[in-house]
Chains A and B, each alone.
Chain A
Amino acid sequence: DTGVSQDPRHKITKRGQNVTFRCDPISEHNRLYWYRQTLGQGPEFLTYFQNEAQLEKSRLLSDRFSAERPKGSFSTLEIQRTEQGDSAMYLCASSSQVPSYNSPLHFGNGTRLTVT
């Protein structure tokens, strides 16, 4: 169990540029989640995959955001035409079942995005 891996750890980009983040979940986990966290707030749900199917998207997720999970393994989160308000920590998590005492979410260390 190597844990959830996210790449890059930090990304600085200029407003209007596109960025893509990658998440590699724990290998046997079929559920993968993307969250966004800003300073002083808890993680905010963005979207969720079960295997390769994207089952839920937050209504907060604008059409500039897109996520994929080809073949049900790693996932990518792309933000197009970045805005300063997109600056945040983007967290990926995985689990083997719905969140419960024996299947808690396992988080990666996040990608910190700064839009200048």
Chain B
Amino acid sequence: DQQVKQNSPSLSVQEGRISILNCDYTNSMFDYFLWYKKYPAEGPTFLISISSIKDKNEDGRFTVFLNKSAKHLSLHIVPSQPGDSAVYFCAARGSNYQLIWGAGTKLIIKP
């Protein structure tokens, strides 16, 4: 069973516009959510996170929104830049402090 789902395998966005990446989860006990970014041939790198007691966290061009009632979170990147082209993973922290990962969304920023 996939507890963390990223339903869009890929997303294409024009440079300068907003990129919105989505993530759904099923376990209401998840207490912490993270977004990671991955370039080809590299390991994932931490981007931004949010606690389940918050509904928004912002860091520069990156904002994560959490809707607990819908069990949904989203990552907004604005404005999108060519260097943002990567695979983005959503991860959730469970009761044993282990991370459960989504399958990733490949973001392509078009010039």
Contacts and interface: CB of A to CB of B under 8 A. Distances in A.
Given A56-B96, A109-B41, A42 B46 contact: no
The dominant DSSP class at the A interface is loop
A107 interface: yes
Contacts of A91: 43-44
Interface stretch (B13-21, B71-79, B98-106): B98-106
A42 B51 contact: no
Given A48-B98, A100-B32, A42 B43 contact: no
Nearest to B50: A101
- Secondary structure of the B side of the interface? strand
B98 A101 contact: no
A53 interface: no
A55 to B, nearest CB: 10
Contacts of A15: none
Interface residues of B, number: 24
Nearest to B90: A42
Contacts of A99: 32, 34, 93, 97, 99
B103 A40 contact: yes
Nearest to A3: B43
Interface residues of A, number: 22
Contacts of B41: 109
Contacts of A107: 36, 43-45
Nearest to A41: B103
A106 B46 contact: yes
Nearest to B43: A107
Interface of A: 4, 40-45, 48, 56, 91, 93, 98-101, 104-110
